[in-house]
Amino acid sequence: MGKPTGFMEYKREVSVAQDPEVRVMHFKEFKEHLPKEQQQLQGARCMECGVPFCQAGMMICGMASGCPLHNLVPEWNDLVYTGNWERAYNRLKKTNNFPEFTSRVCPALCEAACTCGLNGDPVSTKENEYAIIENAYEEGYAGPKPPKVRTGKRVAIVGSGPSGLAAADQLNKRGHQVTVFERSDRIGGLLMYGIPNMKLEKQIIDRKIKIMEEEGVTFVTGTDVGKDIKADKLLHDFDRVILACGASNPRDIKAPGRDAKGIYFAVDFLKANTKSLLDSNFKDKAYVDTKGKHVVIIGGGDTGNDCVGTSIRHGCKSVTQIEMMPKAPDKRAENNPWPEWPKVCKTDYGQEEAIALFGHDPRIYESTVKEFVKDKNGNLKAVKIVKLAWEKDPETGRMNMKEVPGSEQVLDADIVLIAAGFLGTQQYVADAFKIELNERTNVKTTPGGYKTSVDNIFVTGDMHRGQSLVVWAIREGREVAREVDESLMGYSNLVVQ
- Does residue 494 belong to any structural domain of this protein? no
- Does residue 388 belong to any structural domain of this protein? yes
Q: Could you tell me which residues are beta bridge partners of residue 319?
A: 295
Q: Residue 436 — pLDDT band, cuts 50, 70, 90?
A: very high
Question: Is the domain of 28 the same as that of 131?
Answer: yes
pLDDT digits (tens, 9 = 90+) for 136-148: 999 999 999 999 9
In the prediction, which pLDDT does 150 show? 98
Query: Which of 104, 139, 174 is a domain's end point?
Result: 139
Number of H helices and E strands in the chain, helices first, is 18, 18
In the prediction, which pLDDT does 322 show? 98
Q: How many CB atoms lie within 10 A of CB 400?
A: 11
Percent of the chain scoring above 70 in pLDDT:
99
CB 49 within 8 A of CB 99: no
CA 363 and chain centroid, separation: 21
User: Which is more confidently placed, 10 or 48?
Assistant: 10
Query: Which of 373, 390, 418 is a domain's end point?
Result: 418
pLDDT digits (tens, 9 = 90+) for 56-83: 999 998 889 999 999 999 999 999 999 9
Question: Is the domain of 272 the same as that of 388?
Answer: yes
H helix intervals, 45-161:
73-81, 85-93, 99-105, 109-112, 125-139
3-class DSSP state for residue 100? helix
Q: Residue 23 — pLDDT band, cuts 50, 70, 90?
A: very high
What whole-number distance in Å separates Cα of residue 30 and Cα of residue 15? 10
Statement: residue 55 has pLDDT above 90? yes
In the prediction, which pLDDT does 317 show? 98
Statement: residue 301 has pLDDT above 70? yes
Question: Is the domain of 241 the same as that of 294?
Answer: no
Q: Residue 115 sits in which domain range?
A: 6-139
Q: Residue 1 — pLDDT band, cuts 50, 70, 90?
A: low
In the prediction, which pLDDT does 2 show? 65
pLDDT digits (tens, 9 = 90+) for 195-233: 999 999 999 999 999 999 999 999 999 999 999 999 999
Q: Residue 496 — pLDDT band, cuts 50, 70, 90?
A: confident
pLDDT digits (tens, 9 = 90+) for 104-132: 999 999 999 999 998 899 999 999 999 99
Question: Is the domain of 407 the same as that of 274?
Answer: yes
Question: Is the domain of 18 the same as that of 102?
Answer: yes
- Does residue 166 belong to any structural domain of this protein? yes
pTM: 0.96
Mean pLDDT calculated for residue range 389-418: 93
Question: Is the domain of 96 the same as that of 234?
Answer: no
Mean pLDDT calculated for residue range 243-269: 96
In the prediction, which pLDDT does 62 show? 87
In the prediction, which pLDDT does 396 show? 87
Statement: residue 323 has pLDDT above 90? yes
DSSP secondary structure of 239-301: SEEEE------BPP---TTTT-BTEEEHHHHHHHHHHHHHHHTTTT--S---TT-EEEEE--S
Q: Residue 494 — pLDDT band, cuts 50, 70, 90?
A: very high
In the prediction, which pLDDT does 203 show? 98
Question: Is the domain of 277 the same as that of 410?
Answer: yes
Please report, as a single letter, which amino acid is at residue 82.
Answer: T
Residue 208 contacts by C-beta under 8 Å, 6 or more apart in sequence? 98, 100, 101, 165
Question: Is the domain of 394 the same as that of 436?
Answer: no
Mean pLDDT calculated for residue range 333-351: 94
Q: Label each residue of 410-434 as H, E or C.
A: EEECCEEEECCCECCCCHHHHHHHC
Question: Is the domain of 471 the same as that of 446?
Answer: yes
Q: What is the CATH number of the domain that holds 311?
A: 3.50.50.60
Q: Average pLDDT of the chain?
A: 96
- Does residue 147 belong to any structural domain of this protein? no
| 73-81 vs 85-93: helix crossing angle, rounded to 10 | 170
For the chain, how many structural domains are there in total? 3
- Does residue 201 belong to any structural domain of this protein? yes
Query: Which of 139, 166, 190 is a domain's end point?
Result: 139
Question: Is the domain of 215 the same as that of 317?
Answer: no
